[in-house]
Amino acid sequence: MIMKGKKGVILGIANKKSIAYGIAQACREQGAEVAITFLNERFEKKLAPVAEDLGCADKFYPCDVSKPEEIKALKESLEKDMGQIDFIVHSIAFAPKEGLTGRFYEISKDAFDIAMDISVYSLIEIVRELKPILSNNSSVLTLSYYGGVKYIPNYNLMGVAKAALEMTTRYLAEDLGRDGIRVNAISAGPIKTLAAAGIGEFGFMLKWNAAHAPLKKNVTIQDVGNSGMYLLSDLSASVTGEVHYVDAGFNIMGMPSVSFDEDGRQSIAWNGEK
């Protein structure tokens, strides 16, 4: 088993449809021991069955990354219950609703600060606090999206946060490489998760991606989970600072695919249809 003997913590599972859950599943299937976190009491109740399913009901900790004391407490709990750990999965992002709607130039400084703090700075803070218990051959993984590279409608402030997150990944990779710590990101295609529910016209985004990605499909949490497991395992021992796309190839497209009718007239392809 690829992850046998590996131990790690996964932050950001909201339910069984979460990308982070897909990563946790893949790691468990390959022999890893995992711990997971919950945001607050409401999520604790919802995620208790998930922790049971992942075999970590005894390694199920609170962690609101906006509260530094909870990150410190997480480190103490992990050290007590697991000793050293080999991987961290950071699947945390948030922007106030105003940051995902309306005119971009009207976004408030408060909304900007919140999005950057929760979605970006939390990665730095988590790594800094947990570094003393990371093994000498450890891996950190965070989750991005194509909206951090190109304009995506209704993504707005979260796109700016993802851009910052991807650069944070690269700078952390360089800084922590000397300590044997690898840092990578996965840029997943659109998936219908709890977080995606806050993005306007998300159903259209799913259809567009499936229509125009080279593989003509959307990805699943299992697809992302398997790639995540690879980046957390020794199979990727010399991979760091990368943003790995798991989006059925959508990111390579410069313009939509086209098709031709019997008269040679050109039209945009839509799920394989004219």
Instruction: Identify the bridge partners of residue 142 per DSSP, sorted by sequence position.
Output: 90, 185
- Pick the catalytic residue from 21, 61, 145, 245: 145
Q: At what angle do helices 68-82 and 122-130 cross, to 10 degrees?
A: 40
Give the DSSP per-residue string, 194-205.
Answer: TGGGGSTTHHHH
Q: Which two tokens stand for residue 94?
A: 């948030």
- Count other Cβ atoms within 10 Å, centred on residue 263: 5
Give me the sign of the Cα torsion angle 51, 53, 54, 59.
positive
- Pick the catalytic residue from 21, 61, 155, 230: 155
Asked about 21 being catalytic, the answer comes back as no
Q: At what angle do helices 19-29 and 221-232 cross, to 10 degrees?
A: 60
Asked about 171 being catalytic, the answer comes back as no
Q: How far apart are CA 257 and CA 12, in angstroms?
A: 35
Instruction: Identify the bridge partners of residue 35 per DSSP, sorted by sequence position.
Output: 9
Strands 7-11 and 134-144: what pairing? unpaired
Report whether 214 contacts 273 (CB < 8 A). Answer: no
Q: How far apart are CA 188 and CA 170, in angstroms?
A: 18
Residue 158: closest CA among 216, 204, 200: 200
Q: Which two tokens stand for residue 264?
A: 């040679």
Distance from chain centroid for Cα 246? 11
Q: Which residues are catalytic?
A: 145, 155
